Each structure stands twice: as structure tokens, then as C-alpha cells.
């Protein structure tokens, strides 16, 4: 479990770095959309290498997978395009704080209802209080 937590902590550290780097690239080249395409090309290249190393057995199941599961690609495209465009105007911190708030709300709903096969973890007072505390934190960051 500790390994999972540390890996996800690193992934979380990477989100603002991704936002800042890609926003800077989009601003530098004058096209957030082109910067997003470059990001996806780099990500695709790395993902292909990892897939080859780990095995390509998953391709056998793609045609039978529920089609709604492919919407994840649309969500990541929406995130990358919006963060690349908005961060230079709104600030990386501000943009990521609101993304984080959205992630907490969405994650709580997914866990509460067990969506997409997730382990059910009901939204209790402690979790709801944590989300409210995070929302208050986001609000406080906007006052400065």
C-alpha cells in the first residue's frame, strides 16, 4: 500500500508540473492546442514503450470492452487542453486548485456509488468534511 501511495503522490506532483510546462510551451509557440498535441505524442510514445515491455495482451479485449470506457481519453484531452490554455491566464496554482477540488468531488461520488467497478466507500461525515475543508482552502487561495 505504501508503494501505491508514494507512486500516486509522485503522479500528483506531476500534475502541476505538466500544467506549468505545457502552458509555458503553449504560450511560447502561440498555440495551446499544438502544445497539447505534442504532449499527447510524447505521452503516446512513452505509453507504447511501457506497453511493449509489460505485454500487449490487452489488445485482445479492446473490441469487447464497453464503449463508454473509452471516454477517459476525452476527459484527459479536455483536461490538457483547458489547463494549457487557462493556466497562463489564471495561474497554474489557481487552475490546479480547482482541478483538485473537482477531483475530490468526482472521486467521492465514484467511490460512494461504486461506479466503474470501484470499491464502494460511502460518503460519510468525515469525507464530506474533508471535501468542504478543501473547498474552503481553494476559496482562501483566491483571496490572496
Q: What is the mean pLDDT of each run of 10 residues along the chain (144 residues)?
A: 91 93 96 97 97 91 93 96 94 88 92 94 93 87 75
Grid cell at residue 110: 465514484
Q: Which parts of 31-91 fold into alpha helices (H)?
A: 32-54, 71-90
Nearest to 36 by CA among 89, 73, 7: 73
Burial class (CB in 10 A: 0-12, 13-18, 19+), 23: buried
The pLDDT score that the predictor gives to residue 7 is: 93
Q: pTM score, two decimals?
A: 0.84
Amino acid at each position: 500500500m505504501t508503494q501505491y501511495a508514494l507512486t500516486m503522490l509522485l503522479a500528483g506532483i506531476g500534475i502541476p508540473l505538466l500544467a506549468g510546462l505545457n502552458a509555458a510551451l503553449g504560450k511560447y509557440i502561440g498555440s495551446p492546442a499544438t502544445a497539447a498535441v505534442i504532449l499527447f505524442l510524447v505521452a503516446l510514445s512513452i505509453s507504447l514503450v511501457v506497453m511493449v515491455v509489460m505485454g500487449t495482451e490487452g489488445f485482445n479485449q479492446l473490441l469487447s470492452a464497453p464503449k463508454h470506457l473509452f471516454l477517459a481519453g476525452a476527459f484527459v484531452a479536455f483536461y490538457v487542453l483547458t489547463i494549457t490554455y487557462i493556466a497562463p491566464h489564471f495561474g497554474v496554482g489557481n487552475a490546479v486548485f480547482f482541478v483538485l477540488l473537482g477531483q475530490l468531488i468526482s472521486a467521492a461520488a465514484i467511490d460512494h456509488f461504486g461506479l466503474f467497478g470501484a470499491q464502494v466507500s460511502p460518503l460519510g461525515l468525515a469525507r464530506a468534511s474533508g471535501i468542504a475543508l478543501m473547498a474552503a482552502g481553494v476559496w482562501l487561495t483566491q483571496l490572496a
